[in-house]
Amino acid sequence: MAFHTTTLAVHTGRRETVRNLTGECESFLADVGAREGLLNVFVPHATAGIAVIEAGAGSDEDLLDALGDLLPRTDRWRHQHGSTGHGRDHVLPALCAPYATLPVVSGRLALGTWQSVLLVDTNRDNPDRTVRLTFLG
C-alpha cells in the first residue's frame, strides 16, 4: 500500500474564479509512480470547494453564475466580516464540497471524457489557496 501527499500553492486572485487542477493532479500521480488507487483532492479553506465538471466551453462561468444566483453577494448574510457578501463564501462548501476522491487506474485519473478537477473560489478576500493532493494505492 502506497501513501503520498503534497500541497499545491494556488494563487486565485481577488475575483471569483474556477481553476483547473487536472494537470497538477496528473503530474503528482506521475511523480509518485501511482498505478491503482484513489486520489483525494482537498482544499483546507472554509470558503472554497472542489468540483468535478467540464472545464472551459463556458462551464466555468456557468458554475460561477449559478453560485451567484444561489448565493448572492449581498449584505443579507449574518457572517459579516470581510467584503460585502463574504458570508456567502462560507456557505459555498455546503454546495461545492472542499474535497473530491477520484479513482486512479493505470496511473491516470479515471475521469469521464469531459470531466476536470476544479478549484472553486468565490472569496475575493483571500487570493492564495492551498490544495492538498493525497494518493492512496
> Domain residue spans in the chain?
3-136
Exposure of 77 in the CB half-sphere (CA atoms within 13 A): 19
Tens of pLDDT, residue by residue over 122-134, are: 999 999 999 999 9
Residue 47 dihedral angles phi and psi, to the nearest 5°: -135, 30
* pLDDT confidence bin for 52, thresholds 50/70/90: very high
The x, y and z cell numbers of residue 42, run together, are: 482537498
Q: What is the pLDDT of residue 67?
A: 97
The CATH architecture assigned to 3-136 reads Sandwich (2.60)
**0.75 surpassed by pTM:** yes
Q: What is the 3-state secondary structure (H, E, C) of 79-120?
A: CCCCCCCHHHHHHHHHHCCCEEEEEEECCEECCCCCCEEEEE
